[in-house]
Every structure is written in structure tokens, then in C-alpha cells.
Structure 1
């Protein structure tokens, strides 16, 4: 076995151990971790943006700096907020997609709306809606290959055969 193979085996073993630790981590502990990560990102947001601007040779007073904020710290902080919200909902025993529309995609696949996550994101950023397309096997009844119900709206919402839901029903 070469050194590269040994290093790869060690990295895979460490990844597997980390996966086991993460699986055993409570939702509350995961939420605490996300809170600490968000605080760290927020503390470094301005240096992050300034470093990105410097790398692109942008004037720090340029309006183009807004893009650095949106694609950098704002995007990460928004994602962390969405993840924390998901953990809060899961901790109550509910599904984080309970109020999302299920739709259909080609090949009999089911979609779940994912963007915009927040109403304000759609209003501020004007982004088009997006959906997560699931692999084949998730039936329109909301059941996935007999493994149990898909959380969220099922039945009537699926049977509407929407390719896209309105931003805010």
C-alpha cells in the first residue's frame, strides 16, 4: 500500500467516525453549532467582503461590492438561518416541508419547492422559484418506495400536477 492510499484510507476512516458523531448529535446541539458558526461568519463578514473585493481589484466604495455581500456572507448567513429553522421545526416533531407544495417533474418524479425560502428573499432579490426534483420512486401519493410518508402536503397538492407553484399561495 502506498502512502497516498494509506492517507486516503485514514481520511475515509476519519470521515466515517465524524459521520457517526454527527448522527449521534442532538438537534439542539446541532442548532447550537449553527448559532456559533453564524456568529463567526457575521464577525468576519466585512473582512470576507473586503478580501473578495481586493482579489477582484474592486474599489471598496464601488456599488459592485453589494454582489460580494450577497454571494458571500449574506448567502451563508441566510443558509444557516434556514438550517436553524429546519432544526427547530424537526425538534417539535413536525416536517420542515409541511407547508411546501409538492409537484411533478418529467419521468413521474416529485418536486418540493425550495426557493425562495423566505418571502423577503423573493421580494428583495426577485429570484425565480426553484424545486428539488426527487429521484424516481417517490409516488404522487407522497410515499417513497414503501418507506413511509413523505412529510409535507400530499394528495391534493400533488394531484394538481403543478410544474411551478406561486411564490406565496
Structure 2
């Protein structure tokens, strides 16, 4: 805490600022702390509820399992970021299969809305994990690559990308 107060003092000397109180919400994320367990949680539950309400799917049947075989392209990487990227490529001419995936997204969001990122006390290590396939995209034969970044074991960023060239 001493280090934080020292930083605040130094920042106040350089910038006009007020210390209002511990932040409770930022960028649509609810921030909660458990000081006895030394944890900090980031939740988007309220934002997800807003999205479900906007698209009038508040009553969607919740799902908590990863998508299995909903799309032929997502068998290898069933995470939602990858599947959203794939289904987005068909926005101009979507089929029934794509609409089923979009409905699954809403059900998955509803079923996992209370899940949050949890950061705990201890060594904070940034790690990255990278993987790729070789020409697995059934539509273009292009390769897919992706990476996940974690801080202290909690996933904070994920990227999926269809490569621009075909490798044989």
C-alpha cells in the first residue's frame, strides 16, 4: 500500500488529480476485491445482461459448455473468440448454420455471465501460448494460428487469425 500511496503522490505532483475512492466499475467491468483473500475480480455480468436485453434474448436457455460441432470450423478451437471470428466472415451471406452459432453465443453468454477474471496475490507472470494448424480451414485451405496471454494464470487476451496464404 505504501508503494501505491507513493505513486499517487508522485502523479499528483505532475498532474491535477483527485483520489475519489477505490474504483468499482470501469469499461463495463465490475471490479470487486476480497482483501482477506488478496484477490481482485473483474466481471462483465452487467454488460452481458445489457447485450442480451438489447438483442431481446434475455430468456435464452443458458449454456455453460464449449461449443461442440456447431460449426465444422471450430472443432479444433472451440473458444468463443475463434468462433465469433469465423462466423463474422459470413455476415454478408449467412446460412442457417451461422444463425445457430449466433444463438449459441447468446446462450453461452447467459450461462457464463457470472464468470469473472480473478487475480490473486503472488508472483505475477506474463505468459503466452501459441499454436497453429496446417491448412485446416475447410473453405480456403488456409492455416489458422492463435495465441493466448495470461497474467498470473488468468487469461487476459486471446487472438485467432486465419493466415493470408496457403501452405502446402
TM-score by length of 2: 0.26
The structure richer in helix per residue is 1
TM-score by length of 1: 0.25
The structure richer in strand per residue is 2
